[in-house]
Structure 1
Amino acid sequence: MRETVVIVDGSEQPSTNLRDGLAQRWLILEPRLDDFTAGAEEQLAAAVGPLASGQYGLIGVSAGASVAIQHARRSPERVTALVLVAPLAIRPAGDALSGGATDLESSLGEIQCPTLVVFGQADTRVAPEAASIYRSRIPNCNIAFVYDAGHHIAAERPQALLNLVGDYLERRETFIVQNRSGAINP
């Protein structure tokens, strides 16, 4: 039986390439949430509960990252690996859009599973300083930057993202990006 990966995609451009590529190795669940604000984690837990037996990897894309973070914190016994792609969950101090992200930021240390946070090198919506916040707050956190990609990494560099995320989900604790397909990984 294939392992399960849950994707919470909060991007304006759906991460179809990522989902379809991962579906060749994992059983993919992509629950549709009403929004990505208060109550979204409860919707996710209710949607995933009956569908995913046992443990699973969890991917949060863009606005979906905050929901994925909350779910990983609240369900540590189920989430085996967390991947955040172009996460809008926290923003460095001084960012005009930082809003209420500080509560979520202060809880990052509660994440127990191996975590990969992926940023587009040219992302104008997420400051590069966010990487150091994730890295310093989440135990066992790896950071990756995808070159020649902005906020929509799945659309701009689909193969690089697929290779990166697939390798991480496969290895979890050991973060080694291999070049198996001939595509250059970031």
Structure 2
Amino acid sequence: MDAQPADDVRGLRPGRDEVIALGPADGLPLSGIRVVGLSPPADRPARETAAALADTAGPGPHRILGRDAVALWWAVDRPESVVSLVLEAPTALHEEPLDEDLIARLPGCEVPVLVLFGHADPQAHRGRAYRRLLPRCTYALVHGAGADVRRDRPAQYARVVGDFLARDVLFAIGGDA
């Protein structure tokens, strides 16, 4: 997959009314990248929601920010439109009922994925499951953060996510993250 800069970053924060607004104020190196926040409806199956969002977003390339099965389905079903995927405190592998179809497809996903948890998040250990299932997954813990890394440690979030968005798999996590 080509690591050229994408023209778009899509943010998915289900269950919240906020629109993700990311940019230079967040410390992210997003010059030349359009950022669009999306809040998918919670009353549809994740795969259908992902397809509808991908259709609305267009062919891409997109860098997706998410935390649930919707973002993963987008990457699995439309990998040609996804340059990279950032999952902040993802829930897809421990929500009931588990989406067995999605879990079965994850080992074939070649999209670079950053799974980011706060060190103080009680679910942080679940990041290892994403690392095992996704062949191009990097799992990172941010010290001093809980389940909402972006709010708890905004500078560290910006550093880690910004570097990943800019470089994909060729990024490095600094010691102060």
* TM-score where L is the length of structure 1: 0.78
Counterpart code for 1:47: T
Give matches, 1:34-183, under 5 Å. 34-35=41-42, 37-38=44-45, 39-49=48-58, 54-61=60-67, 65-91=68-94, 98-124=96-122, 126-128=123-125, 130-177=126-173
Q: Is the 8 A contact 1:59 1:85 kept in 2?
A: yes
TM-score normalised over the length of structure 2? 0.81
Aligned counterpart for 1:9 among listed residues 1, 10, 13:
13
Contact 2:10 2:63 in 1 (8 A): yes
Partner letter of residue 72 of structure 1?
A: A
| Structure with the higher helix share, 1 or 2 | 2
CA RMSD of aligned residues (A): 2.6
Query: Equivalent residue for 1:181?
Result: none
Return closer, same or farther for 1:107/1:83 CA change in 2, 3 Å cut-off. Answer: same
Gaps of 5+ in 1: 92-96, 179-183
**2:55 aligned partner, one-letter code:** A
The letter for the 2-side match of 1:120 is G
% same residue:
28
**Cα contact 2:11–2:20 (8 A) shared by 1:** no
Gapped regions of structure 2 (runs ≥ 5)? none
Q: CA deviation at 1:170?
A: 0.5
Q: In the alignment, is the contact (CA less than 8 A) between 1:41 and 1:67 conserved in 2? A: yes
**Aligned letter for 2:56?**
A
Shift of residue 113, structure 1, vs aligned partner? 1.2
Deviation by residue 1:15-71 (Cα, 9 ceiling, x = unmatched): 74646634853210223322274031122123212xxx531211113xxx2101000
Question: What is the aligned residue count?
Answer: 168
Q: Distance in 2 between matches of 1:4 and 1:47?
A: 13
- For 2:60 and 2:17, the matched residues in 1 are separated by 30
How far 1:131 sits from its partner (Å)? 1.5
Runs (4 or more) in structure 1 with deviation over 3 Å come to 11-20
Amino acid at match of 1:4: D
| Deviation, structure 1 residue 127 | 4.8
Q: Which deviations, in whole Å up to 9, do the C-alpha atoms of 1:118-174 show, x marking residues without a partner? A: 0111113x251x222111111111010011111111111111111110100101121
Contact persistence 1:142–1:175 (CA under 8 A):
no
